Amino acid sequence: MTVFLSIIIPSLNEETEIGLCLKKLQRLRDISIRGLGVEVIVADGGSSDHTCELAALYADQVVHSERGRAQQMNAGAGYARGEYLLFLHADTELPSDFSTAWLDGLNWGFFPVKLSGSAWLFRVIERGMNIRSQMFGIGTGDQALFVRRTLFESLNGFANIPLMEDVEFCRRLKKVSQPSFQRGVVTTSSRRWEQRGILRTVLQMWRLRLAYFLGVSPQHLARQYYS
């Protein structure tokens, strides 16, 4: 089958999320644009749970890679056959009415985001994320970045850094063209905020992002983020 869109999902011990994520993508595997189909690739970074076994039931390919989101997404892209690549987190859901036709003719872009939690603070956070991404043309991994495969390859994909790989890649993409901001909204899990504390997580992300733009190395920021 000739492929229009390759959906690439980096995973690491996501057995509680990966099955539902992939089931929701089955509809797209049955839809085509211009006679071209959709494939789903899971790029695993060495899961020790049942992620890979579950992924094998619903994905077209399960690719094994060194651990690290950038390395995993690059590895998945290396096996992709689509004209477009869309990088989707296992805990992020595409719009229910998403169509591959939305991407046809575009260079790259991302989606507005909604957080799954019901707390009113999540509405404030997601609104801030969407305003910021539109204003600066920088999307994050939670926003389902998509890019034409030839453009991705011309830029050598994601930089091999442990954090901010999505921001760094968007900055390089912007030198080629401005992003397309999709009309449909992706929904991403609020578990990170709920587990670490909403305000604490927001302040940490602001601090890390500011430090990155001021030139602090992603390696140093990753040690802070994962500590």
Judge whether residue 144 has pLDDT over 80. Answer: yes
Q: φ, ψ for residue 48 (rounded to 5)?
A: -105, 5
Domain boundaries, position 128: 3-226
Range with lowest mean pLDDT among 84-93, 103-112, 206-215:
206-215
Report the number of distinct structural domains present in the chain. Answer: 1
How confident is the model over 203-213, as pLDDT tens digits?
Answer: 888 888 888 88
Q: Distance (Å, rounded) from C-alpha 132 to C-alpha 203? A: 15
CATH of the domain at 220: 3.90.550.10
| Residues 6-35, mean pLDDT to the nearest whole number | 88
What's the whole-model pTM score? 0.94
Q: Residues of the chain with pLDDT > 90: what percent?
A: 76
Q: Distance (Å, rounded) from C-alpha 153 to C-alpha 171? A: 16
CA-closest candidate to residue 76, choices 95, 61, 96 = 61
Q: Distance (Å, rounded) from C-alpha 169 to C-alpha 206? A: 19
pLDDT band at 33 (very low <50, low <70, confident <90, very high): low
Q: Distance (Å, rounded) from C-alpha 85 to C-alpha 74? A: 11
Q: Which residues, 6+ apart, have CB-to-CB distance to 56 below 8 Å?
A: 62
Q: What is the pLDDT of residue 35?
A: 58
How confident is the model over 72-83, as pLDDT tens digits?
Answer: 999 999 999 999
**Helix (H) or strand (E) run with residue 158 in it:** none
How confident is the model over 108-129, as pLDDT tens digits?
Answer: 999 999 999 999 999 999 999 9
Judge whether residue 136 has pLDDT over 90. Answer: yes
Q: Using CB atoms within 10 A of its CB, is residue 42 exposed (0-12), middle (13-18) or buried (19+)?
A: buried
Judge whether residue 31 has pLDDT over 70. Answer: no
Judge whether residue 32 has pLDDT over 70. Answer: no
